[in-house]
Amino acid sequence: MSSIINVLDEATCNKIAAGEVVERPASCIKELVENAIDAGATAIEAEIADGGQSYMRVTDNGCGMSAEDAHKCIVRHATSKISSVEDIFAISSLGFRGEAVPSIAAVSHMQITTRQADAEFAVHIILDGGRIISEDQAGAPAGTTMEVSDLFYNTPARRKFLKSERTESSRISEMITKLALAHPAIEFTFINNGRTTIHTGGGGDLKETIANIYGASTAKEIFPISYDDNGITIEGYIGKPSVLKSSRAWQTCIVNFRMIHNPLMFKAVDNAYHAMLPKSGYPFAVIHLHMDPASVDVNVHPAKTEIKFADEQSVYRAMYHSIVTALVDQEKPEQIATNVDFNHRQIDTIEKKEQQLELNEQTAVTPMTTTALPFAEPDAAAGRPERTVPAAGSYPSHSRGMMNEPAGTAYTPNNYSPAQMHEFHTALETPAAPAVSGPAAAPAVPAITFDGDEDVFIPLGEVADCFIIAKKGQDLYIVDQHAAHERIRYDRFCKRVEKMPSQQLLTAEFVEMDEADMTLLTEQKDVFADLGYAYSEAGPTALRIEEAPADLPTGDIAGSLQDICLALREDTHIDKATLRHRSLAYLSCHGAVKAGDTLNIRQMKQLLEDLFHTDKPYVCPHGRPIIVRFTPDELAKLFKRT
């Protein structure tokens, strides 16, 4: 049998050598599993004990190795993946350096059992610290089994820095999870201390693999994404904004079947969800990106999880647009309205996604009709607000701050919009309006009807001068009036021209700023001009404001400028669209109806109608939920009628 493992020449070794060091059990499992994948395995089983410190085993049904190759695989820079230095410029395999197995063998007791399909017996080699101490033949199925025990037994200093058994097991489990998501056509089994904790079917269906790993309830809360253009193909699944984790544990980015950690790809995910999430939380995402291997450099980091793209902007745009398109297609306010956690008698905003009920309602898209509403926002072309019925049709004045917050408090969004935010908003010409059929009602109060649809929202009243109570059909809705008006204002601002709408002040406003903010304000006047400000220095720490964004109360000018300066300090490479989003969110918040402002029934009706003509009526620009929905079954549970 001919050998398939080659010992690389010195020139090639020098170009790919990473000085790979086995850091922890998880890195051992990763390298051994990736070798099994490269060997063409369709089933891989990984087993550990004591967090991998005392025992690890990886068994596959791949091509196996001959006796000659079994000896070569423990020689540094011996690999079957590449044969010359030219091969590293278009690597399609997961491993290619030939360093992993020798590195693992050098710090452990290791056994290799391997058999090719046409061989009668398997080769069985026992190593101690990288040296062969025994070799014989054994009976074994086709494939390879790598067993590692007593990791770091001969390097106690490195063993001392390992974490607890639970932590190391968790890292290995996460590693197996991401490898399984990267290769849904492979059956993965993970056994921890004799208990099977992960098992995937290996049928090639990514959604089925996600269900195997994260559960069927999570699989119901995700939807597919796709993209194919300019040599970049993207496929995978992303979650509803309600499916959040406090870390990126549920975000997996895969490039050419290699799991990677790339800040650019994660930023594309964050920006695609820019104003749809609460202040803290990361959405679910499993994204497969396929492109020419020659345009990807994987020889950047010893662990091969960090890569470089030849054209990063193309990758960013592809990921961003694929996610945004999927989100826009799926956005149905009634499906994403927040549900109730009956166990704790509180609104379920994020964590209890498993308790969300299946909705039987259908949605329809209704073109938004442009009408001069009694209390419409200022018209950009005319430069003045359209107000025809100030008393009955306008929102009340609002001088109070938000409930439980000091007046003037600004929210700081966790996720900002990308450079394509303006393009995205202008492309949304047809906002979705809910269309749920319900029993015909003869309301005693004004109802909301959308252009002939059968949808009828009936505002019933207000609680604590903060929450609007409404019904539609048999369902009850609670709407946060401040968050709703904030969303309405934000969407109207976004549909205007690229430059922020500004107004010249009748009398200049003087504001005090600290020295750090003054430096930014003087050095980046063009940035602030794009955001609607015109000013001049009136002293070492004083500004004379001549123009400010339209509808921004003069008392909030200083706070708005400070918020922009904070954003510039947090991210020195922040783009204009991100700053625009942040400024619009601030402007929308501080000009909106506040908690404590009393609305009459007509104003509630108008607010709800405006809300459901926005692009994202279920979440405010800062990511807080706007709507909570109660079905009759949920109300019955609250009153223990079921």
The CATH number that applies at residue 392 is 3.30.1540.20
The CATH number that applies at residue 270 is 3.30.230.10
- The Cα 357–Cα 348 span in angstroms is 12
Highest-confidence range of 114-123, 159-168, 433-442, 487-496, by mean pLDDT?
Answer: 114-123
Does 371 map to a domain?
yes
Least confident of 184-188, 191-195, 346-350: 346-350
Cβ 607 vs Cβ 484: under 8 Å: yes
Is the same domain home to 158 and 287?
no
Residue 320 has pLDDT above 60, yes or no: yes
What are the helix (H) ranges across 286-389? 312-330, 333-336
Cβ 145 vs Cβ 57: under 8 Å: yes
Is the same domain home to 40 and 160?
yes
Beta strands in 152-255 (DSSP E): 187-192, 195-199, 222-229, 232-239, 244-245, 251-255
Cβ 602 vs Cβ 596: under 8 Å: no
Is the same domain home to 463 and 369?
yes
Does 340 map to a domain?
no
Supply the pLDDT for residue 109: 95
Residue 195's φ and ψ, nearest 5 degrees, are -115, 130
Residue 362 has pLDDT above 50, yes or no: no
Does 558 map to a domain?
yes
Highest-confidence range of 36-45, 85-94, 450-459, by mean pLDDT?
Answer: 36-45
Residue 621 has pLDDT above 50, yes or no: yes
- The Cα 113–Cα 613 span in angstroms is 65
Cβ 171 vs Cβ 147: under 8 Å: no
Residue 406 has pLDDT above 50, yes or no: no
Cβ 526 vs Cβ 548: under 8 Å: no
Q: How far lies 425's CA from each of 315, 409, 421, in Å?
A: 21, 27, 6
Q: pLDDT category, 407, cuts 50, 70, 90?
A: very low
Cβ 364 vs Cβ 453: under 8 Å: yes
What's the pLDDT tens digit per position in 477-490? 899 988 888 888 88
Strands 285-290 and 251-255: parallel
What's the pLDDT tens digit per position in 252-291? 999 989 888 888 899 899 888 876 765 567 889 999 999 9
What's the pLDDT tens digit per position in 203-234? 999 999 999 999 998 998 899 999 998 899 99
Does 534 map to a domain?
yes
Residue 420 has pLDDT above 80, yes or no: no
Q: Report residue 542 CA to chain centroid gap.
A: 41
Q: pLDDT category, 399, cuts 50, 70, 90?
A: very low
Using only C-alpha atoms, the chain has a radius of gyration, in whole angstroms, of 30
Least confident of 256-265, 299-308, 599-608: 299-308
For residue 214, the tally of other CB atoms under 10 A from its CB is 19
For residue 57, the tally of other CB atoms under 10 A from its CB is 18
Does 282 map to a domain?
yes
Q: pLDDT category, 53, cuts 50, 70, 90?
A: very high
The CATH number that applies at residue 580 is 3.30.1370.100
**What mean pLDDT comes out for the span 362-390?**
32
DSSP, res 345:
T
Supply the pLDDT for residue 74: 86
Is the same domain home to 16 and 83?
yes
Instruction: Please give the residue that has the higher pLDDT: either 6 or 191.
Output: 191
Length of the chain: 642
Residue 394 has pLDDT above 50, yes or no: no
Highest-confidence range of 88-92, 146-150, 332-336, 378-382, by mean pLDDT?
Answer: 146-150
Instruction: Please give the residue that has the higher pLDDT: either 569 or 533.
Output: 533
Is the same domain home to 146 and 184?
yes
Residue 196 has pLDDT above 50, yes or no: yes
Is the same domain home to 157 and 279?
no
3-state class of 308 per DSSP? strand
**What mean pLDDT comes out for the span 378-398?**
37
Mean pLDDT over all residues of the chain? 74
Q: Which residues pair with 348 in a beta bridge?
A: 339
The CATH number that applies at residue 96 is 3.30.565.10
Instruction: Please give the residue that has the higher pLDDT: either 635 or 298.
Output: 635
Is the same domain home to 581 and 467?
no
Does 490 map to a domain?
yes
Residue 424 has pLDDT above 50, yes or no: no
Highest-confidence range of 75-79, 170-174, 305-309, by mean pLDDT?
Answer: 170-174
Residue 446 has pLDDT above 70, yes or no: no
Dihedral angle of Cα 315, 320, 322, 325, to the nearest 10 degrees: -160
Instruction: Please give the residue that has the higher pLDDT: either 407 or 526.
Output: 526
Q: Return the closest-CA partner of residue 208 out of 237, 171, 234.
A: 237
- The Cα 610–Cα 572 span in angstroms is 36
Domain that holds residue 391: 364-376+387-401+411-494+598-638
